[in-house]
Structure 1
Amino acid sequence: MDHRLNEYGQPIGLPVDLPLPRPAPPHQVLQGRYAVLEPLSADHAEEFFDVFTDPAGWTYLGEETPFADRQHARDWTAGKALSRDPLFYTVMVDGRPVGFLSLLRITPQAASIEVGFIHFSPALQGTRAATEVQYLLMRHVFDDLGYRRYEWKCDALNAPSRRAALRLGFTFEGVFRQALVYKGRNRDTAWYSILDSEWPALRAAYERWLSPGNFDKDRRQRQSLGRLIGAASG
């Protein structure tokens, strides 16, 4: 039962036994086995300019890029480094910046937060590190900060993003029609979420998937994340 009745016989939500508001996320390093999340810095601009060269990679992001030149990259990165919502992290692999993502729509009063503005270079896409950084942020949000809800939203036409959300264990909640206008075009927004009650099973699945024993000498997975999530959730 997901509700109770008040003194008038009306259904109302269950009480929330959680001190609110929750803490705002600190901008700190999150260390993984295969990758590190660092607070995005202007120092990462040169590498960003070198790895984000494909215009198609920016289609569903809310800004007109890629960078026109290195100064543009430096100005853009310096501005993002100052932002606190979105709160940007750089993905570091072997000491090099290879992507970025952010926590945004940070709502401590409701213990809700979104992951978004995700852009991974071709060298990062499809790797263990790409999955691990998603796990690092989830673990930080649920275990360190005690949030109740973790959101993923994307353009409903962005099929790779929608597939990624499902692979990562998010639950599809629906499409908000004509939710935004960006780059002069309509955006219907697909919504996904993970709740704190779902996190323990997901965390166990991620940790099994990320274990070195789940990969052969060529870094090919032995068990898929989807299979492990299904087994843990079932």
Structure 2
Amino acid sequence: MSTGDLRLVPARPEHVDYWLVLRAEPGARRYVDTDEDTREQLLHRIAEASPLGDTRAKGYRWFVEYDGRLIGTVSARDVSRMHGRAQLGYMMSEAYHGRGLGTRAVGMMLERLFTGLPFLQRLWLVTLAENAGSQGVARKLGFTFEGTMRGHCVHLGQRRDQQTWGLLRSEWEARRSG
């Protein structure tokens, strides 16, 4: 486990070039079923990311900084106040895999979301069925494996299975206080 200075910084337009590089890394391409977004599309997504206090926000994004260097991104999207839920996403630079930094960063995001959004009752995420690293992050943070969606997405030209993982506020609170 790395013990350096890890921070979540709000997404800003100046992060877009780093985000493009991150998304192009072989490790990212191997497991993330993301569209081939242009620089302009990513800038638009950054502009749409809201501060936690925004009561109309549909999503939040932070970049992960470790010892003063950007190393990844974490996000919550498809925020539904009516249903009290949001979908999480995270991506860490391949050079920082296996050091516990992704788990720490997502844990920091959970803290911000659950303490900053009183309506939030459930967080969920999906991983490709073969993405053991991302599943490990989910498991370590208390997410429950909820099932496999067979043939749910096309990734690198092949139809792939995705796993769904969920975390309820009550489960997060119990882990936090226990």
Same topology, TM > 0.5: yes
| Larger-Rg structure | 1
Contact residue 37 and residue 91 of structure 1 kept, 8 A: yes
- Taking the aligned partners of 1:124 and 1:150, their CA distance within structure 2 comes to 24
Alignment partner of 1:199 is 2:172: yes
| 1:27-66 pair list within 5 angstroms | 34-48=5-19, 54-63=25-34
Gaps of 5+ in 2: 50-57
Q: 1:156, CA displacement in angstroms?
A: 1.6
Contact residue 104 and residue 114 of structure 1 kept, 8 A: yes
| 1:1-234 pair list within 5 angstroms | 34-48=5-19, 54-63=25-34, 74-75=39-40, 77-84=42-49, 85-116=58-89, 118-146=90-118, 147-204=120-177, 232=178
| Residue identity matched to 1:119 | M
1:12-54 CA deviation, whole Å, 9 max, x = no partner? Answer: xxxxxxxxxxxxxxxxxxxxx8322122222124444666663
- Taking the aligned partners of 2:101 and 2:27, their CA distance within structure 1 comes to 22
Gaps of 5+ in 1: 1-32, 205-231
Residues 60 and 201 from structure 1, CA distance in 2 versus in 1: closer, same or farther, beyond 3 angstroms? same
How many aligned residue pairs are there? Answer: 166
Which protein is richer in strand relative to its size? Answer: 2
- Taking the aligned partners of 2:153 and 2:59, their CA distance within structure 1 comes to 17
Normalized against structure 2, the TM-score is what? Answer: 0.76
Residues 181 and 46 from structure 1, CA distance in 2 versus in 1: closer, same or farther, beyond 3 angstroms? closer
- Taking the aligned partners of 1:144 and 1:49, their CA distance within structure 2 comes to 29
Residues 142 and 183 from structure 1, CA distance in 2 versus in 1: closer, same or farther, beyond 3 angstroms? same
Q: 1:141, CA displacement in angstroms?
A: 2.0
Normalized against structure 1, the TM-score is what? Answer: 0.60
| Residue identity matched to 1:78 | L
- Taking the aligned partners of 2:114 and 2:6, their CA distance within structure 1 comes to 20
| Residue identity matched to 1:144 | G
Residues 143 and 64 from structure 1, CA distance in 2 versus in 1: closer, same or farther, beyond 3 angstroms? closer
Q: 1:179, CA displacement in angstroms?
A: 2.4
Q: 1:75, CA displacement in angstroms?
A: 4.0
Residues 127 and 195 from structure 1, CA distance in 2 versus in 1: closer, same or farther, beyond 3 angstroms? same
- Taking the aligned partners of 1:39 and 1:83, their CA distance within structure 2 comes to 12
Q: Percent identity?
A: 26
- Taking the aligned partners of 1:101 and 1:161, their CA distance within structure 2 comes to 12
**Which range moves more in the overlay, 142-151 or 178-187?**
178-187
CA RMSD of aligned residues (A): 2.7
| Residue identity matched to 1:192 | W
